[in-house]
Amino acid sequence: MIDAPALCKHCHTNPVEPGKGPQRREYCSDACKQAAYRERQDEKRYRRLRQRFVSYTPQTQAILESIMRQHEDVLEQVLAALESERPDRPFKTWLKTQRGRGNPLQELAVKAHSDPRFPERGTEATYREYVKAHTLPYGLYSNWEGEAGLHNAWLNFQEHERQA
Ligand SMILES: [Zn+2]
């Protein structure tokens, strides 16, 4: 009886030519060898990316998984959008760290820190509404802080969270 030739580890279709050296061949062609390498690289990257969505529901994770595999170019934006909708972002804690002299966010950070009603956690919308509802002359904050200032701070906060 003749042994059936081994099949390619990638396409599982074509037989693998027996190699001459001691090293056994695993792929039918260079194209399959390269495709298998690319797949391994993708899986490595996917494992890292997946860690950023473990806290979502299984349904959301499944959606993110398919976006990752089919449209990886937009995954970053989708994750950022989801992140910004989470109602539990500890923005105040981070803002406290921006009170240093020369920090463009210093004024807002000092005010928020001294304001016991400034929410501990929330979405960007939570904070925008809060700051707008407490603008000068009756509240603490300037119009700018309610609009561009807060948005700018929020972007910095998100960047910090991404790197953490
Ligand atoms: Zn093959």
For the cut 70, the answer to whether the pLDDT of residue 52 exceeds it is yes
Q: How far is the CA of 17 from the centre of ligand 1 (A)?
A: 11
Q: How far is the CA of 42 from the centre of ligand 1 (A)?
A: 18
SS (H, E, C) 3-65: CCCCECCCCCCCECCCCCCCCCCCCCCHHHHHHHHHHHHHHHHHHHHHHHHCCCCHHHHHHHH
Give 66-96 pLDDT, tens digit per residue.
999 999 999 999 998 888 788 888 999 999 9
Question: Which pLDDT band, with edges at 50, 70 and 90, does 1 fall under?
Answer: low
Q: How far is the CA of 22 from the centre of ligand 1 (A)?
A: 20
Determine the Cα–Cα distance for residues 144 and 162; give it in Å rounded to an integer: 26
CB neighbour list of residue 27: distance below 8 Å, 6 or more residues apart: 8, 9, 10, 16, 33, 36
Give 133-152 pLDDT, tens digit per residue.
999 998 999 999 988 999 99
Q: How far is the CA of 44 from the centre of ligand 1 (A)?
A: 22
Give 150-162 pLDDT, tens digit per residue.
999 999 998 888 7
Q: How far is CA 104 from CA 45, 114, 128, in A?
A: 35, 18, 18
Maximum separation of any 2 CA atoms in the chain, in Å: 94
Q: How far is the CA of 6 from the centre of ligand 1 (A)?
A: 11
Q: How far is the CA of 72 from the centre of ligand 1 (A)?
A: 25
Region 115-126 average pLDDT: 94
Determine the Cα–Cα distance for residues 61 and 53; give it in Å rounded to an integer: 6
What DSSP element (H or E) covers 129?
helix 124-133
